[in-house]
A and B are shown apart, each in its own frame.
Chain A
Amino acid sequence: MNIGYYPGCALHGSSDDYETSVRACLKALDVQLDELDDWLCCGATAAHSINQKLATALPARNLGIAQKMKLDRLFAPCPMCSMELKKANDALQNDEVRAEMEKIVETPLSGSVDVINLIQVFQAVGYDVIAEKATRKLEEFKPACYYGCLLTRPPKTLQFDDFEHPTSMDELLAKLGASPVEWNCKTVCCGGGLTLCDADGVAQMSHRILKNALDSGANCVVVACPMCQVNLDMKQAAAKKLGLAADVPIFYLTDLVGMALGMKPSQLDVDRHFTQTKLTK
């Protein structure tokens, strides 16, 4: 299966461990990634906080590149990017907006690119196909599947899973032999992009999530977002100061699927996570 690929800044920045993991895992599933030529940043929170037009223009430019490359399906592993791309695609359904955006981003725009997230790539491959290819069961994993904000919100734009109680990640990992726990913080925000500029606020938000995961019997948290990974993993020391009782290993979804497919953690860059990744029983 061939699919358009928009890595986004995080995966070409300090979250490039996620890109290693995504590429290794999808290669094992015969998914070929065609990266967009000269893609731009999606604008993220900064753009929609400061200039609404820019918040549509930046992702729209990327959709135009996808269109030029004849990629009708575009995969963005970062939920912030995929949400912004999808929101821009929705905005382009309005003729006036589309005409204005074509002038701004200097490329024709059809508003017809199908943007998908990581879980939707796994769904396109098929959970049963993945389970068949798996060479080992993830029996020791009791993950708290963490969806965060932008895999399911805004629900009108994304139309993906249940925005209060999503289960798509839990279902995939259960099929691969893991025992996902029921917990309360599946869609509670980790603090997102305020990591650097409101560190104390983000520590409190991450602490609440990590504590609930432990209290619910999880031995790790699984994410599908580079920003969630940073806040829960890299900044976990701050949550410890607020009373978090133990280390909580944080895995990308592709780490666990990759391990089920027989890959070593080091092939997935798991050894580059901050918090140790040994599981407690």
Chain B
Amino acid sequence: MGTSKRDWKTRVETLAHTRLNDCYQCGKCAAGCPRGVSMKLSPTRLMRAAQTGDILEAAESDSIWRCVSCLTCSARCPKSCEVAGVIDAMRQIAIEENILSEDAAKIIAFQKAFLRSVRKNGRTNELEMVADFEIRHFLNRFDLMGALKDATLGPKMLGKKKLHFKLGSPVKDKALVKRIFDKCGVKI
């Protein structure tokens, strides 16, 4: 592709609005990360990968998608690095370069289904979004148990009127929403 490690590093810095060399690898971001235990690469290691320009390797791991964007890492960083922003930048690059982590397939499928719903309606329509997500994920992975497990909450949600057909009525100016998505170059 001809993109050098230095180019990748610059791209992350631009997207995340942060200076990667400020990170001195103290490990505080990893120590406070509520998702650290489920990540192969901790936030500190993801920061190191960004510093060395090994973005594509990091983008392949499920770790960037396990991040729940709680922002604990960024808030506590003694050097004010936007750690969560760096992870967001890596996720954007992973999507743009079509680098999809197998282990995180379900999380990626959900984020895309969410944005497809917003692109179509201007707001999320939960029923439509969940159906889109479950069906596509099932077709991709044949994960019937996963889909059934999620469906078990349905009846109780109906009972509590948490699901109803007025859910998430769309915006009036749907065309504008599509133009905004297109102008931003969203790939979903």
Contacts and interface: CB of A to CB of B under 8 A. Distances in A.
Contacts of A43: 115, 118
A49 B88 contact: yes
Contacts of B181: 54
Nearest to A54: B184
Interface string A150-187: 10011100000001000000000000000000000001
A106 B184 CA distance: 13
B111 A189 contact: no
Interface in A198-232: 198-199, 201, 205
Contacts of A52: 15, 88-89, 92
A184 B54 CA distance: 37
Interface residues of A, number: 52
B68 A61 contact: no
A104 B122 contact: no
A280 interface: no
Contacts of A61: 180
Contact of B92 (A49, A106, A194, A272): A49
A41 B187 CA distance: 18
Q: Tell me which of B118, B130, B149, B168 has the highest count of chain A C-beta atoms within 10 A of its own C-beta.
A: B118
Interface in B144-188: 149-150, 153, 156-157, 160-163, 167-169, 171-173, 176-177, 179-181, 183-188
Interface string B23-55: 000000000001100100000000000000000
Contacts of A104: 180, 183-184
Contact of B70 (A15, A58, A103, A189): A189
A45 B184 contact: no
A105 B184 CA distance: 10
Contact of B168 (A12, A47, A272): A12
A189 B34 contact: yes
Contacts of A44: 114
B124 interface: yes
A61 B118 CA distance: 14
B138 interface: no
Contacts of B135: none
Q: Tell me which of A187, A193, A196 has the highest count of chain B C-beta atoms within 10 A of its own C-beta.
A: A196
Contact of B35 (A9, A17, A201): A201
A279 interface: no
A123 B181 CA distance: 37
Which A-B residue pairs are the 4 nearest by beta carbons? A189-B70, A197-B110, A46-B114, A153-B71
6 contacts: A49-B91, A49-B92, A51-B92, A52-B15, A196-B133, A272-B162
Interface of B: 15, 34-35, 38, 66, 68-72, 74-75, 88-89, 91-92, 95, 106-107, 109-112, 114-115, 118, 122-126, 130, 133, 149-150, 153, 156-157, 160-163, 167-169, 171-173, 176-177, 179-181, 183-188
Interface of A: 9, 12-15, 17, 38-41, 43-54, 57-58, 61, 103-106, 149-150, 153-155, 163, 187-189, 191-194, 196-199, 201, 205, 234, 272-274
